[in-house]
Amino acid sequence: MSTWRDGKAMIVGMSRRICVAIYERIRAARPDWHSDADEAGAVKVVMTGSASDPQAFQPHIRSKARQEVLRNRFRDPADPLLLVIVRDM
């Protein structure tokens, strides 16, 4: 993970498909930022969905409780979560 900490950022996408595509590009450029666990990783997509959504969306679909975990991580300046990608909520 990078050693610099100038702040955190949020990317707002026009659709869930775009959000997932942005995430995949960031993950390709910065693989060390990825983690399957909500409690780890530097970049996350925050979105709702259902089991009928495409397979590519499934790792990013979170319940309200899991979204709250990410929200709290993002608000904590000491947490390594640096970037969240959201749909225009």
pLDDT of residue 36: 94
Structural domain includes residue 59: yes
pLDDT of residue 67: 94
pTM reported for the whole predicted model: 0.88
Phi, psi of 56 (to 5 degrees): -65, -25
Tell me how many domains the chain contains: 1
Alpha-carbon distance 36 to 24, whole Å? 13
Domain that holds residue 80: 9-87
pLDDT of residue 88: 77
Structural domain includes residue 2: no
Structural domain includes residue 77: yes
Structural domain includes residue 51: yes
pLDDT of residue 3: 56
Regions in the chain scoring below 50 on pLDDT: none
83 backbone φψ class: left, alpha, beta (φ>0; ψ -120 to 50): beta
